Structure 1
Amino acid sequence: MTKRRSRITAAFFALVVLLSTSTSYAYEDGKAVAVGQRGMDRFYKQVLSWGPCQPFAVDERSRSAFKRGDVQCARLEVPLDYEKPEDRAVSVGVLRRVASEPQRRIGSLVVNPGGPGGSGMTYVAGMIDQQKNSAIGKRFDLVGFDPRGVGASEPRVQCLTDAERDEQRLRPKDVGADETEAQNKDYVKKCTERTGVDVLANVGTRDVVRDVDVLRAALGDQKLSYLGYSYGTRIGTLYAETFPKNVRAMVLDGAVAVKQDKVADAARQAQAFQDAFGRFAAWCAQRDCPIGTDPALAQNRLDILTGGLKDKPMAVRDRKLSHSDARTATLQAMYSDRLWETLLRGLQELKQSRGDTLLQLADQYLGRTNDGSYSRIQDAFIAIRCMDEPPVKDRAELEANRRRVLEILGNEDAVQTDERALGPCAFWPAPHSSEPHQPELQGQGLPQVLVVSTTGDPATPYQSGVDLAAALRARLLTYKGNQHTAFLHNIQCVDGIGTNYLVELRLPEADSTC
């Protein structure tokens, strides 16, 4: 996330992670076993040993979340390499809160919050209070898992230490392509040394999907009920393609693009962030707005307001707010209009030479907690992305991609100059394990699923949900709002439709709008 300019619109240029190829599986008693592959029985037939969750905590957030007395945790054993299941095994952390009406229990609802690199265990622990008395909390065991390499799963992906991550945020960004590439090579070297090539080679979505099916079996569910947000929709989509007969129900909210054109998808996302900033600027203009009363000039005013941080980061107690942090804070606030008030306060403080709120927003995005530790979501994000798509290893291709984004957007300010530098994936120690493709679902028996897409979602633009629904022949639920994902976020219309589907398997007769 090292960009030379302050434009938030292309901050996620490298976000698009393309779908994996499917593997051929046979189905036996509701369980999927790879054709011709031996040694999987011990994984599919394992019994989870549930116990207290506190030993699974790895950072301040999980330590707080896992103090609850109504959650249980366990470790799921899975092969590191599914092509060699008899070799090394690794563990996936799993958390559950059992259904509050066990006599009416449907089964497990497996939840992934996205990322990639987000902790499903921490996320589910955080949603329990809201859901424990709902139909979902009454009828389902709520289950969150930390994908391989993430959070409580072992081993974890680690590239940078907490101190190195802090230092990286303060590093000058106005450097040439050669220096940026040298930094990326050093980053990959640290990833390799601290995590291991064998682990890095097997953290892609292809392998996570196989873990989910082992988890389904270990939970005792013949069919999977699944809720995936953002990158979690990629896990769900590939699971639906790989194990269609094992799906009971799926809600996929905030769809990651399924198209094969990653440059067009990146441009679409850049435009969505630009549009989100425009909506914020119009809202801000009606208040005491430090970036002015004319939304058309807001980006330039923001650049001026934050420009001084390029040369001199601002002291914030025993830390410093960098220009990169200010941009990251702005990006974080685009994820939901509920954060606009916080960003407004942060910009007002910045005008007064204070940076507390902006630093907090940047920490929230980057996974830094109050004790100075990081969740490692940034390391996992890069590791998974590098395994999920073919890397760009040619600067000429980078420049061609840059020019094409410019053609699509018609806005030079949305194109990052340092995208001429090769990213970490160009130097990754293992070949990517996926190739982009449309889901292949013809005649495979997948039940109809529900896709939720929000009109003002900057991270996973609305059209991506439309495309995913078409690809899966799913029912589409449109939410008119300004936020990233919508289901179970206290939106009565959306929650009602999604809950009826998960509990009763009843979908609206046609695509719907809330």
Structure 2
Amino acid sequence: MKKTLTAALLLATTAVTACSATEPQPVRQAAKSTVAWAPCEDLTGPDGKPLNDTSLECGSVPVPLDPAKPEGEKIDLALIRIKATGDRLGSLVFNFGGPGASGVDTLALAAKLFASLGTRYDLVSFDPRGVERSSGVRCGQIEKYLSVDMEDLDSEKLTKEFVAACAKDSGKVLPHVGTVNAAEDLERLRTALGDAKLNYFGLSYGTHLGAVYATRYPKNVGRFVLDGAYDPTVTFKERAVTQVKGFKQAFDAFAKDCVAQGCDLGGDPAAVQKSVDELLAGLKAKPVKVGDRDLTSGLAEIGVFAALYSTFTWPVLEQAVAAAVKGNGQALLSMADSYVGRKPDGTYSTMMTSVQAISCMDSAERPDDAAIAEVEKATGEIYPMLRSGGLGLLCRNWPVKGDDAAKRIDATGSAPIVVVGGKGDPATPYEWAPKLTAQLKTGVLLTYEGEGHGAYLSGSSCVTRALDTYLLTGKTPAPGTTCPAA
């Protein structure tokens, strides 16, 4: 059997030009927020201890469970805010990706990374519908599906068990998640915040949500950054193949860098790959004990590929694999836990379940066995370690139908939208950035030559300067702007 379920759960230039002379887009005066902000009560740090930060405020906005029935049952969207420290322009709303990342948790931990923007904006984020505190999708004991070695099991049977658990635990919300409905929630959030325009920073999947919002509400688009662009028109096969190529490129870049720095995993890139392959094969035969848990081949694989998202974690990956080869799997298991949302107390966030629910609702595709086998063959030929049928098997068994409404992007009439693509981005490969830019009609492309998922957090002063200038003054980067690797 192929690694269909595990891999599907893992997967959803040379010069800097000056900023253009485009006149800044004015920031319209905001009305008063109707959100009842209060101190946050349930935030924890990576160590599981309460996060006592008085700058953080939490609140909620009620939205209809079924947007087609605005007067019907409501659910609450959980919000977080950090008030501007200087002369306030308005709110800047973040979506950190996934789909399924908790904006509440992420902004609480990552606020300092956006401190330059926090001088002028209230930094705001939220858990989208179907995510964590906002009626998050839950699917039974997720650890069961993450830790198994799929080659030894019937992936069709396991997938059906997983989907049945989702329907049992979250059947009420499943028909109403998806990016189109989340975009409608964004408009309700803009109104509740009292902002005349929505200023927005979307990363990874957040670029898709932002693009759908701009399509539906082009006149309400303020200053928009879409970093780590996703092309929503891709099929399941195209998505899987492109991402596998991206992760192979990222691993090769890691291996080359590791060797250049003096690598514990081998003297050349091929030897580094061999070390990882042998580790995974050994864990498949005999998992390594980490306390009362097992580091399985499936979890180790997740840990490896989680570390490829950023060059900052490449040294950690080298050390974690080297330790696991010697029988100490703690670091690699911790990396996998962080990626899949496992908390210190053994519970899980909804990240790995929300992503499936939203992805399957955003596509009408329900591929048959032949189509899934074709994807497995194509990805296996590119990179055997990530051979997968992509989202096909999960979505084929999903208990509610999806549609293609979120694939249609056209923001004609909106203010300029800055789209950022990184040449070494493994999760949202660069080719998607110019495609999303073209679909928007109002997009302005900024290219980053370096490695890692998301350019703003790459450490590139060029990218930071260009995007901060745009968000703080309204001046868009000049067409064709590129930034070198950090």
TM-score (normalizing by structure 1) = 0.84
Describe the SS at the equivalent of 1:272: helix
Give 3-state SS (helix, strand or coil) of 1:266's partner: helix
Aligned: 1:221 with 2:187? no
Matched, 1:494 2:477: no
Counterpart pick for 2:423 among 455, 460, 466: 455
Counterpart-to-counterpart distance in 1, 2:226 and 2:294: 38
Aligned-partner Cα distance in 2 for 1:181–1:318: 29
Cα pair distance change 1:261/1:169, threshold 3 Å? closer
Give the alignment partner of residue 351 of structure 2, picking from 361, 377, 384. 377
In 2, distance between residues paired with 1:402 and 1:467?
25
Kept after mapping to 1: 8 A contact 2:237/2:390 = no
1:186 matched to 2:161: yes
* Aligned residue runs from structure 1 range 84-233, under 5 A: 84-101=69-86, 104-132=87-115, 134=116, 136-153=117-134, 155-160=135-140, 164-175=141-152, 179-196=154-171, 198-233=172-207
CA, structure 1 residues 343+147, in 2 after alignment: closer, same or farther (shift >3 Å)? Answer: same
1:48 maps to which residue? 35
Moved more, 83-92 or 470-479: 470-479
> Aligned to 2:414, what secondary structure does the other structure show?
coil
Residue of structure 2 equivalent to 1:248: 222
Partner of 1:470: 438
| Offset at residue 120 of structure 1 (A) | 0.9
In 2, the alpha carbon distance for the partners of 1:492 and 1:108 equals: 24
| 1:407-441 deviation line (CA, Å, top 9, x unaligned) | xxx6473672x639962222222111434644233
Name the structure 1 match of 2:399.
429
Are the aligned partners of 1:399 and 1:420 in contact in 2 as well (CA < 8 Å)?
Answer: no
Whether the 8 Å contact between 2:84 and 2:123 is mirrored in structure 1 is: yes
Corresponding residue for residue 4 of structure 1: 3
Q: What letter corresponds to residue 88 of structure 1 in structure 2?
A: E
Stretches of structure 1 that go unaligned for 5 or more consecutive residues are 17-29, 31-43
Q: Is the 8 A contact 1:4 1:175 kept in 2?
A: no
Q: Does the CA contact (< 8 Å) of 1:181 and 1:422 recur in 2?
A: no
Alpha-carbon distance in structure 1 between the residues aligned to 2:326 and 2:261 = 17
Secondary structure of the equivalent of 2:431?
Answer: helix
> Residue 359 of structure 1: SS of its match in structure 2?
helix
Q: Which amino acid aligns with 1:464?
A: W
Give the equivalent residue in structure 2 for 1:413.
384
- Distance in 2, matches of 1:335 and 1:209, equals 26
Instruction: Call closer, same or farther: CA 1:435–1:248 in 2, change over 3 Å.
Output: closer
Per-residue CA distance 1:472-514 (angstroms, 9 max, x = gap): 2421111221111021554321111111111111012322111
Equivalent in the alignment of 2:453: 484
Q: How many equivalent pairs are there?
A: 465
Q: State the 4+ residue runs in structure 1 displaced beyond 6 angstroms.
A: none
1:274 is aligned with what amino acid?
Answer: K
Partner Cα separation in structure 2 for residue 373 and residue 330 of structure 1? 22
Q: Secondary structure at the match of 2:436?
A: helix
Mapped partners of 2:270, 2:290: distance in 1: 31
Q: CA deviation at 1:390?
A: 2.1
- Match status 1:81 vs 2:66: yes
Q: For residue 131 of structure 1, report the CA deviation from its aligned partner.
A: 3.8
Cα displacement (A) at 1:300: 3.3
Secondary structure of 2:389's match?
A: helix
Secondary structure, aligned partner of 2:84: coil
Q: What secondary structure is seen at the aligned counterpart in 1 of 2:167?
A: helix
- Does the CA-based 8 Å contact 1:159-1:190 persist in structure 2? yes
Q: Is the 8 A contact 2:104 2:125 kept in 1?
A: yes
Structure 2: give runs of 5+ residues left out of the alignment.
13-27
Alpha-carbon distance in structure 1 between the residues aligned to 2:188 and 2:391: 40
Deviates more, 1:504-513 or 1:86-95: 504-513
Deviation at 1:195, TM superposition (A): 1.2
Pairs within 5 Å for 1:350-365: 350-365=324-339
Taking the aligned partners of 1:336 and 1:233, their CA distance within structure 2 comes to 18
- Offset of residue 404 of structure 1: 5.3
TM-score (norm 2): 0.88
Matched residues in 1 for 2:375 and 2:9: separation? Answer: 10
Do the aligned partners of residues 307 and 371 (structure 1) sit closer, same or farther apart at CA in structure 2, a change above 3 Å counting? same
Aligned-partner Cα distance in 2 for 1:131–1:65: 22
